[in-house]
Structure formats: C-alpha cells, structure tokens
Amino acid sequence: MQIELLSNSIDIKKYLKELGVESGGVGIMSAKAAHHTLYIRDLHVGGANILKQDALSVGADLAVPRGTVVAKTPHVDCILIATSKQLELLSKKELLQPFGLKEAAKKFQEILKIKKPKDVEVMGVINANDDSFFSESRFKEGSAIEAIERMIADGAHIIDIGGVSSAPNSARVDKYEELRRVKPILDAIQGEKLFNKVKFSIDSYEPDVISYALDSGFKIVNDITGLADKEVCRLCASYDATAVIMHMQKKPQTMQENPEYENILSDIYSFFGQRIKEAKAMGVKDIVLDVGIGFGKTLEHNLMLIKHHEHFLTLGKSLLIGASRKSMIDKISPSLPKERLAGTIALHLEAVRNGASIIRVHDVREHIQALKIQQALNAI
C-alpha cells in the first residue's frame, strides 16, 4: 500500500472522475473537499449561539469569543469553518432563524455560487507622460506604437493608455494637457487599425479625454475615481463601453496620508456595491472591479486585498488587479521600480489564484509565461 498527500489546490473533480467515481458521487465528494473560512463580524450573540450549534450538527464549526454562550456581549465576531456541502446545509437551516441569520444564509448561498475564472487577460500599460513612477512605461507617439505592437506580439489582450500619472503626490494635470498627450497615440492606433489586434482601454477620469478615446474606437474606460463623475457613467453607457471601477481613498495627491479603514474588505465591498448600483441605474452594462492596490492603502491593506481577493467575487463582476512594480514590493524587499518584476509576478499570481481575471502589467511577455506555468500546474 502507498499513501500520497495531495495538494489542496488540485482539481478534485478531475481526480474523482479518473478514479471512476459515479457522476453523482463526484459532485457530492467534491463539495466535501472544498473548504470555506468565513469571518462574520458583528453577529447578534443569539445568532452566534444558534449558528454554533447548527454548524456542529452538520460537521462544521464556528469559532466564537469566550463568553458567547452566556451572552457576555450583545454582538460578537466569529469564524465559520465549513466545506461547501456543510455551508449548503447551513444556508438552508439559517433561512428560518432570527438574529440576522437569514441574511447570513443568503450570503452563504452567494459564496457557494462563486466560480473562479479560468481565463486571465493581460493588460499592458502605456503611459503618455513624463512622470509615471516606472520610467520604462513612458512613451511618446512613435515609441508608443512600437511598444503596443511589441505587447501585442508578446500576447497582451488589452492595452491601457494613460496621459496622467496617478502615483502618490503626482502633479495635477488639466484635461487639455492630458488630451494633448494622448491624442497623437490614439490617432495613430486608429490609423494603424490596431483595434483589430487587441482591445484598448483609456486610463482617465476626464470626460473630454474619455469621449475622444471612445470616438476613436476604445472599448474600455479605466477610471481610478470609480465613476465619481456621472458624465463618465453616461459616456460608458452611451458607447456601451466596459467600465473599470477602481477604489481610491482621497486623491492621488493625498491618498497615502495615513489611510485608514474600519475594515478594509467590507469597506471596499460596500463602496463597490454602491457604485455598481449607480452605474447600472445609468445604463452601464459591463463592469470590472479594481480594489486599487496602492491607492490610499498601507502595505497590510494591499496584502489583505490580494490575499482575500475572492471576497469580491460575490459581487458578480470580473476583478482587475494592478500591483505592477509598485512601492509595496519595496516595503517588503527594498528595491527600485526596475528591480521589482519578480515581486510583481508573485503578487499577480496570488491575485489570480484568488479570483482576478485581468492583470494590469508593465511586462507582458513575462506575465504571459508565468500564467502559462500556473495554468499547467492547475491542470495537474
């Protein structure tokens, strides 16, 4: 007899099918193999005691603070540990219970519906300015077209064009100067018919710049202000463009001045929920979410957002991550932007493992290779 310890990240359904398990058994057993760890905040203590007993009854468990059983405090935080099968059973049980458990049950059901994307798109970065933090991403008209064609050859799915740096403490640029910077590149893209080879995104929150890009054939609006300007919403709706809603605390000039959150995951989740609702009401159909790595976040905030990226999949939107060569890498491993490729790939692969389906990068070829290796590992 031989016993082999298998990775928890395997495609368990594939293994069960190869073993010859009946189709019904594959579904049942794979649900038992998938584990969920849910941090539940501010649950009524009565609900915590009910959920604790119900969890134990189905083979799951709920970690609660001391004193919960005697209702020492009116509300508690707790951690639920359950397989998919156990979570499904709990979602049915708690629908009939008081103390907020009905709402918890609905959330359990949302979580069970999550399906991580299988395909990942690589978005290459082209900056039409002189002050982006990574100098090798800065291009003028002629060199920009060469860089775009190189990225296309390297396998890019999307090219993101921006004329204004959004790095911390970056200078404010008016819309006229921004348009002056990007217009030659946009015109050249249209003239070279590069839209036939790749999708293009405009990295801007200025309606005039966005309008020109959409008129030029761009299909994606990458807005670091998260559609704060309703005119940007209207443009996305009228052109049937994809809107990337990014979260940023404050403005680029002030965003890194002591960023604080009550709870980073829940706060950004609530922000997304509100902005999605507003965008849909204005007719925006296709929405992508970006948690905004480095935009008003500490190192710990950034790491939390990447590690728990899957949390945002219950919003039902594609997730974009952009950590390319950012200063969070320097805070972990001191380095200049040109020395941060390895750290960038590590962060992006972790985000992809946790649900990201678009990665915004300076280095297309290297990311395409890394993704192919990860996909090969996932297929085992």
State yes or no: is 360 an active-site residue: yes
The total of other beta-carbon atoms located within 10 Å of residue 277's CB is 10
Give yes or no for a contact between 294 and 300, defined as CB atoms under 8 angstroms apart.
no
Please state, in angstroms and rounded to a whole number, the distance separating the CA atoms of residues 131 and 140.
13
Q: Which residues contact 320 (CB under 8 A, 6 or more apart)?
A: 123, 244, 246, 288, 289, 290, 356, 357, 358, 359, 360
Alpha carbon distance 173, 163 (integer Å): 9
Q: Name the strand (E) or helix (H) holding 43.
A: strand 35-44
Query: Nearest-CA neighbor of 306 among 272, 262, 260, 352?
Result: 352
Residues 6+ apart with CB under 8 A from 222: 160, 162, 201, 202, 203, 204, 244, 246, 290
Residue with tokens 């559609």: 227
The 10 Å Cβ neighbour count of residue 65 is 12
| Marked catalytic residue, from 181, 275, 297, 326 | 326
Read off the tokens for 178: 């921004």
Name the residues annotated as catalytic: 326, 360
